Structure 1
Amino acid sequence: MLLLGDVIRRHGIDFHSYADDTQLYVAVSPDDTGPLDGLLNCILDIKMWMGENFLQLYQDKTEVLVIGSEAERDRVQSYLSTHSMTTRDTVRNLGVILDADLSFDQHVNQLTKSAFYHLRNIARVRPFLSRASAEILIHAFITSRIDYCNALLSGVKKATLNRVQLVQNSAARLLTRTRKREHITPILKSLHWLPVSFRIDFKILLIVFKSVHGLSPSFISDLLLHMNLLESLGPQVQAC
């Protein structure tokens, strides 16, 4: 019996499988419908494969997201609509909300909404907690959300990132019982909390470090291009 991965590979489609979810990836040009035809044929074959194995594709959970400029998206979406396939403005991937512009505005909206909800709950019981206990709660419900997949926020608009920083600032003030008028930087420094932008840089550096030293999955490490520093510098190094 063919595995689902074998069915997808026959069409040359990149994919990633999880326990109960399979994601297909294809790079397309608005003027070339070939990859789109391959994707549509792949989906048809998946439906046939599932039927042969007494399975059913959950059509309502099959989501399509087109990422690109607005003009490019319109062309691709128009072509897909002729094949009874509709696209979405956002999709959720492992808890991260992806949008067609990769602005992550919707993701940050959800992140800040959830974080402030938990902050308000922690604030209600803060008078009854020691500082150590309060910090445990903040890391469990707030810091974990700030750090989750935060490398994706590298390069987003500063205004978007500032909203996440506001969450961390509020958490620090709640923990230390600091007034809003007091400057936040010394507080974060005393707590040894990296600001959000630095946490993102640290996460990216950590991913690269693990990839270089064989500590990350191959689908991540294969994306890195290793360069010989001495060869790239050439005569400059030899002259030294």
Structure 2
Amino acid sequence: MSMTDHVKATIKSVNFHLRNVYRLRRFITIDSCHHLVRTLILSRPDYANSRFGISSKDRKKLQELQNRAARIVLRTDRYHPSAPLLDRLHWLPVEKRVVYKVLLLTFKCLNGLGPSYLTSRILLTYQNKSPV
């Protein structure tokens, strides 16, 4: 099973919204644009960036979208390096966002805050080892 079709649809949708934000960008503040991009745009690739169901090629395309969004928010040209922009906006790169999501979900499950269908699958075993 491949996620390529889903990634393509996500990219198409995000590009549509990015074009619209780009047209509005000069009329809104950085904070407003940042909030707009986070809510309308960055939430969409999160549905497509599963670590196990997505190829590195598709992950790279999603990263390019995120870089483009950062350049629009901060009003830089297309050749500006994206890593400093992501740091300035406090955005994790796509690969690290995936790891963060998995770790956060695991933490929630371990503390009884996660979905019951996942929390019930986790078995904890503690080894009581006394110091020698």
Q: Could you tell me which of 1, 6, 9 is aligned with 1:110? A: 9
Query: Is the contact between residue 71 and residue 78 of structure 2 (CA under 8 Å) also seen in structure 1?
Result: yes
CA deviations 1:74-116 (Å, max 9, x no partner) are xxxxxxxxxxxxxxxxxxxxxxxxxxx1x21111111111001
**Aligned counterpart, 2:51:** 154
**Aligned counterpart, 1:191:** 89
Equivalenced residue count is: 131
TM superposition shift of 1:227: 3.1
Q: How does 1:139-150 map to 2 (within 5 A)?
A: 139-148=38-47, 150=49
The runs of at least 4 aligned residues of structure 1 exceeding 6 Å deviation read none
State the TM-score, normalizing by the size of structure 1. 0.51
Q: Could you tell me which of 105, 108, 115 is aligned with 1:217? A: 115
Select the structure that is richer in strand.
Answer: 1
Q: How does 1:157-236 map to 2 (within 5 A)?
A: 157-228=55-126, 230=127
CA deviations 1:36-63 (Å, max 9, x no partner) are xxxxxxxxxxxxxxxxxxxxxxxxxxxx
CA RMSD of aligned residues (A): 1.8
Q: Percent identity?
A: 36
Select the structure that is richer in helix.
Answer: 2
- Structure with higher Rg: it is 1
Matched, 1:121 2:4: no
**Aligned counterpart, 2:32:** 133
Q: Which runs of 5+ in 2 are unaligned?
A: none
State the TM-score, normalizing by the size of structure 2. 0.89
Structure 2: how far apart are the matches of 1:223 and 1:109? 33
Structure 2: how far apart are the matches of 1:139 and 1:160? 20
Q: Counterpart of 1:144 in 2: which secondary structure?
A: coil
Q: Which runs of 5+ in 1 are unaligned?
A: 1-100
Q: Counterpart of 2:80 in 1: which secondary structure?
A: coil
